[in-house]
Amino acid sequence: MKSGLSRLKTLDLSDNSIEGPIPLFVGVEVLLLSGNKFSGEIPNSISQLKNLTALDLSMNNLSGSVPDEIGELSKLETLILSSNNLTGKIPSNLSSIRSLRRFAANQNGFTGLIPDGLTRHLNFLDLSYNSLGGRIPLDFLSSPTLEYVDLSWNHLEGAIPRDISQSLFRLRLGGNKLTGKVPSLFQQRSNLTYLELDTNQLDGEIPSELEICQKLTLLNLASNQLNGSLPKALANLSQLVIMKLQENSLSGEIPTEFSKLGNLITLNLSHNSLSGEIPSSISSLSKLSNLNLAVNKLSGPIPSNINELSYLIELQLGNNDLIGTVPRMPNSLTTALNLSNNQLSGPIPSHLGSLGQLEILDLSNNNFTGEVPVSLTQMQSLTLLVISNNDLSGTLPKFPHFVNVTYSGNNGLVKPEAVPTSPEKKKPNTVLIIIVSIVSAIIGVGLLAAFCFLVIAKRLYRVEDVGLQLEESPPQIINSCYITSDSIHKSNIDFSRAMEVVSNPSNLTLKTRFSTYYKAIMPSGMSYCVKKLNSGEKIFQMGGNERFGQELQVLGRLSNSNVMVPLAYVLTRDSAYLFYEDVHKGTAFDFLHKDSGSALDWQSRYSIALGVAQGLTFLHGCTQPVLLWDLSSKTIHLKSMREPQIGDIELSKVIDPSRSTGSLSTVAGSVGYIPPEYAYTMRVTAAGNVYSFGVILLELLTGKPPVSQGTELAKWALSFSTRVSHSEQILDSRVSSTSPAVHSQMLSVLKIALSCVSLSPESRPKMRNVLRSLFNAR
């Protein structure tokens, strides 16, 4: 396509909804067309764009194969083709573009072999989630400029090349059919930081030579056929944070030397054949939060000092040969304590009752004797207790109704007296029915009144009603579903009406990176907040509607006054809509940065901080922790000036980061709130959320937006704080000058905020500690 815009250097049309074939402008140097609905093939004539240095076609509907002519773009530095429906081979002559540094073609349907020499000039290559086959070329990983290679989830076979470049920082080869051994020829001063070779058919032993990779932070060799013992030398990987070796055939003992891995947060050795005792030195892994040794042949007692692991959230020791009694457990346990299928004996210790955050306790299939301690009924977070198949006796104490207790296979254990109180039981029920009917009558009258008002209002404003043109036709509902069990909401929410509302732009109340909000008044007069997930973001996986529905059902059961919980949803061809109670007075962003006239007072700011911290602590502490994908002052909705609610909690469940190109930092969250480590990790983390929360605290303290004049608030605040005497200059003086008490409280909160935005994720506090400190700052 010839065009008059021949002097155009950069054309950025990213993230629109443009359809049709891709537009080619001869002479352009940078062409960014990502996140549109361009379709058809990439034309041969692309070769006419001789000046092109960057071409981003990701997240469109392009199909067909990539023309060989693309290899004629001799100035190309960046080529991004990710998340389309491209097929055929990766053009082999891309390797002849000497300037090409970054090439991503992940999430397509490419087949055939990986071209020889493709990495010769590259820094960055992402071909994950395709159907590439054959072997990885021998010199593929040896290029001295190579930093990032992701070939995961293809059909690659054969061995992993032995020759690995010193500059390689991240290597992902998981989810293929690779065979042979884990490579051992790493170079001195290797930069390898992330090594993921999981879910392949690798065999042989784990090479001790891995110890040379002193920067290794993540080692994932899970789900292979590795055998032999755990090399002691791995204990020298002092930077290791995550070690996943589960689902192999590893044998022998857990080396006591592993206690040197002081940075370890996750250790997963489950589903192997490890034997011997659990070394008591494991208690020196002071940062460990996930320890999974389940399904092995470990014997001996559980180390009595295990309670020294003060960050432990989950402990899985099921299916081993452990003996002895249950020692004191760390109070930090949250997700699960699973000691099932061992030979543990003695009474169930009553001190387990002090694990106030623990949600799942499995003690089944052991030899426990005696009575079930009453203290277990005091565990405030417990939802599942499994004590079946032991030798327990006595009467099972009465647990709160939300605890699911499984206790079969204990011959001596009897149920609590089946209280034969049907007449007594009925009484409260009738009372309840009366209350319910009264309440519904009141609401009914209210609704009727509201409805009448609406009808009248409509009559009065008919002219205006007609004036709202520009409506598109309402999106067609493919699937709709109530999540809430509240019958009032169920009878009020009208899905078709909502679709009419969202097709009218005048009902739009707020747009954030991933969501658009509408106010929807239902035929009954009740108003709801309807949120559309922005369909331009191709990283959403609504495919498998069933899964989407299930995830939302789980979220719908959450109950916390500082969290916006969905009540219902609608799926249409290319979007999803979620329904919420209409509590929207505006976002924290609106009140802090929009209304410049009057500054929000400190009490409100502090209440917002506390409320958000409470909501976030709750979300992080769920059985399946809910991590926020986009936490910013724009996703904090205010019910009142003192009651914030966290929105957009479903994003991490419906976004698939692997559909994106490059790193998480390009897709997660909003600018200014994205923690620095997202540039190289691919996972949204709790520590990342703490960072974003820290930025919100800084906004509340300074009154400044997350980014101003190109500088991120967090970086600005950190640079100031190094000069202690200056730290109070950070504070919003309109607020800090109101009283000495406010001033000193703000300084305490500033300290918390700065710890939250620490550059290193490990040194950020956990949300529950942040919450505690905030309370203490009162």
Question: 341 or 702, CB closer to ligand NAG?
Answer: 341
Give 236 or 266: the residue with its C-beta nearer to ligand NAG.
266
562 binds ligand NAG (CB under 6 A): no
x-or-dash pattern for ligand NAG, window 66-95, by CB under 6 A? -------------------x----------
With left for phi above 0 and alpha for psi between -120 and 50, is residue 472 left, alpha or beta? beta
Residue 45 lies near ligand NAG (rule: CB under 6 A):
no
Q: State the residue number with the nearest CB to ligand NAG.
A: 318
Question: Which C-beta is closer to ligand NAG: that of 63 or that of 229?
Answer: 63
Question: Taking contact as CB under 6 A, which single stretch among the options 250-258, 268-276, 729-737, 753-761 is the one that binds ligand NAG?
Answer: 268-276
| 217: contact with ligand NAG by CB under 6 A | no
Q: For ligand NAG, give the closer residue by CB, 269 or 563.
A: 269
Nearer to ligand NAG, 168 or 312 (CB): 312
Distance, C-alpha 170 to centroid of its chain = 20
User: Do residues 83 and 660 lie in contact, with contact meaning Cβ atoms separated by under 8 Å?
Assistant: yes
Among 248, 259, 290, 562, binds ligand NAG (CB under 6 A): 290
CB of residue 314 vs ligand NAG: minimum separation in angstroms? 7
DSSP codes joined into one string, 610-655: HHHHHHHHHHHTSSS----SS-STTSEEEEETTEEEE--TTHHHHB
Q: What is the per-residue DSSP string for 407-450?
A: --S-TEEE-------HHHHHHHHHHHHHHHHHHHHHHHHHHHHH
Alpha carbons 699 and 706: distance in angstroms, whole number: 7
Determine the size of the site formed for ligand NAG (CB under 6 A).
23
| Binding-site member from 271, 489, 584, 766 for ligand NAG (CB under 6 A) | 271
Binding residues for ligand NAG restricted to 324-353, rule: CB under 6 A: 338, 340
Residue 511 phi, psi (nearest 5)? -125, 125
Minimum CB–partner distance for residue 541 and ligand NAG (Å): 12
Q: How far is the CB of 461 from ligand NAG (least distance, A)?
A: 44
| Nearest Cα residue to 169 out of 140, 146, 201, 151 | 146
Q: Smallest distance from the beta carbon of 131 to ligand NAG, in angstroms?
A: 12
Rounded to whole angstroms, the Cα distance separating 216 from 207 reads: 14
C-alpha–C-alpha distance, residues 439 and 29, integer Å = 66
- Name which of 110 and 148 has its Cβ closer to ligand NAG: 110
Q: What are phi and psi of 60, to 5 degrees?
A: -130, -165
| Strand stretches in 681-771, DSSP E | 707-708, 711-712
- Active-site residue, 601 included: no
Residue 362 near ligand NAG by CB under 6 A: yes
Question: Does 196 help bind ligand NAG (rule: CB under 6 A)?
Answer: no
Q: What is the DSSP letter of 167?
A: T
Rounded Cα distance, 545 and 554, in Å: 14
Q: Which long-range contacts (CB under 8 A, 24 or more apart) does 510-518 make?
A: 510/584, 510/587, 510/634, 512/630, 512/632, 512/634, 512/635, 512/648, 512/670, 513/630, 513/669, 513/670, 514/629, 514/630, 514/648, 514/651, 514/655, 515/647, 515/648, 517/584
Q: Which stretch binds ligand NAG (CB under 6 A): 50-58, 262-270, 465-473, 668-676?
A: 262-270
246 binds ligand NAG (CB under 6 A): yes
CB-CB contact of 346 with 325 (8 Å): yes
Write down the least CB distance from residue 405 to ligand NAG, Å. 12
- CB 572 to ligand NAG: min, Å: 16
Q: Is 107 in the site for ligand NAG (CB under 6 A)?
A: no
Q: How far apart are CA 231 and CA 206, in angstroms?
A: 7
Out of 266, 572, 670, 758, which residue is the one contacting ligand NAG (CB under 6 A)? Answer: 266
428 or 544: CB nearest ligand NAG: 544
Distance CA(287)–CA(290), nearest Å, equals 9
Min CB(56)–ligand NAG separation in Å: 19
Among 108, 154, 176, 270, binds ligand NAG (CB under 6 A): 270
According to the binding rule CB under 6 A, does residue 294 interact with ligand NAG?
Answer: yes
Return the residue of 22, 293, 386, 588 that touches ligand NAG, per CB under 6 A: 386
| Residue 318 lies near ligand NAG (rule: CB under 6 A) | yes
Query: Which one among 51, 63, 305, 748 touches ligand NAG, defined by CB under 6 A?
Result: 63
Binding part of the chain for ligand NAG, among 239-247, 254-262, 509-517, 605-613 by CB under 6 A, reads 239-247
> Taking a C-beta distance cutoff of 8 angstroms, is the pair 77, 53 a contact?
yes
Judge whether 170 and 193 are in contact, CB under 8 Å: yes
Residue of 126, 150, 362, 630 with catalytic role: 630
Burial of 675 (0-12, 13-18, 19+ CB in 10 A): buried
- The C-alpha angle with vertex 590 and arms to 585 and 591, in degrees rounded to 5, equals 80
Question: In angstroms, what is the minimal distance from the CB of 7 to ligand NAG?
Answer: 36
SS3 at position 139: coil
**Are the C-beta atoms of residues 20 and 43 closer than 8 Å to each other?**
no
Q: Which two tokens stand for residue 437?
A: 């009917």
Site stretch for ligand NAG (CB under 6 A), options 117-125, 315-323, 693-701, 712-720: 315-323
Contacts with ligand NAG by CB under 6 A lie at 61, 63, 85, 244, 246-247, 266, 268, 270-271, 290, 292, 294-295, 316, 318-319, 338, 340, 360, 362, 384, 386
Active site amino acids: 630
